[in-house]
Structure formats: structure tokens, C-alpha cells
Amino acid sequence: MKTIFSEKLPRILKNKKRLERELHLKISNKGRNVSIKGKPEEEYYGEKVIEALNFGFPFKEALSIKKENFVFERINLKEYTTRKDLSRIRARIIGKKGKTLRVLRQLTKCFFEIKGNEVGIIGDPERIERAQEAIIALIRGSKHSNVYHFLEKHQIKPIYDLGLK
């Protein structure tokens, strides 16, 4: 049984039945602490899904951690820069009217969310590494066009099985 502190408890309680059904867990709460009980693998996925919901991801994207074997990662802006104006760095990551985040989402096929001084990423383990590199490059001041070019150049090619030996 694991216990997780939840900042967005109403959001979890509203979807409690659906979370229990999808994750095969028993969820209970005492104050702001959410307890999950189930098999160890299910508890792990439950913990990651609840972390993603607390971070601010939509319910569908948070559940993709379990359904599609995605990974949830966080990047702290302060770890990669010494600048004091973190609002400007957040603005670089978001872009005009959210354009940068949309382009990053299309190129990496990952989900992004910004909360305070952290960037949350949900995606395939192979793709999430490139997404992290792109976010870190933007934090450190790389041009947007260079980051987009890097992502286009390092696209993961799908593997087609033709049944041949």
C-alpha cells in the first residue's frame, strides 16, 4: 500500500471509480493523502498516474501512462539555468499562443504540461529522451528553429515487420 500527498484531491476523488476500474486498484483518502492498494505493478502505475493528475495533466493523458506504457518525467528549470527570470524561460517553452508546445508535441509525440518551475512530460520511453533534450536546449537559450531541426533530424522511424527472415 502506497500513500501519496495530493494537491488536487477533488480531481482525483471525482474520477475515483474510473481510476479504480482502469488501474485495478483500491483508492482511499485521509485528508490530502491518497492511499492506493493493489498488486505492486498496479501500485506503481497508480502512483505515476496520480502524480501526473496532481501535476495538471488531463485525465486521458494521465491514464495513457498505464494503457500505453508511457513514462512520466519532470524537468526542473532551476537545474539547467542560473538565470533569475524564470518567467522568460517559461515563456520561451510555451511560445506565442502556445505554438512552441504544439510543435514540440507534434515532433516528439509526447504530452507537455508546465507547472511553476517544472515541465512535465508524458510519452513513450524512446521519445521522451528527445523531448527532454529539446526542453533543456530551450531552457539554455537555443534558438527554436535549431531545436525543431534537431527533433526533425532525430525522428524515430517505425519498424515494419514484413514477416521475412
Residue 62 placed within a domain: yes
51-67 tens-digit pLDDT: 999 999 998 999 999 88
Same-domain pairing of 34 and 79: no
Q: Which three cell numbers stand for residue 139?
A: 531552457
CATH of the domain at 19: 3.30.1370.10
Give the residue from 157, 160, 119 showing the smallest Cα distance to 136.
119
94-113 tens-digit pLDDT: 999 999 999 999 999 999 99
Sign (positive or negative) of CA dihedral 93, 109, 128, 45 = positive
Instruction: Give the domain range for residue 9.
Output: 2-66
Give the residue from 77, 82, 27, 78 showing the smallest Cα distance to 49.
27
Same-domain pairing of 7 and 40: yes
State the average pLDDT over residues 33-45: 89
Same-domain pairing of 77 and 148: yes
Same-domain pairing of 89 and 60: no
Residue indicated by cell numbers 474520477: 15
pLDDT of residue 163: 72
Question: In the chain, how many domains are there?
Answer: 2
Residue 109 placed within a domain: yes
Q: Which amino acid is at 49?
A: V
DSSP secondary-structure letter at 72? Answer: E
Q: Is residue 165 predicted with pLDDT exceeding 70?
A: no
pLDDT of residue 1: 81
Residue 128 placed within a domain: yes
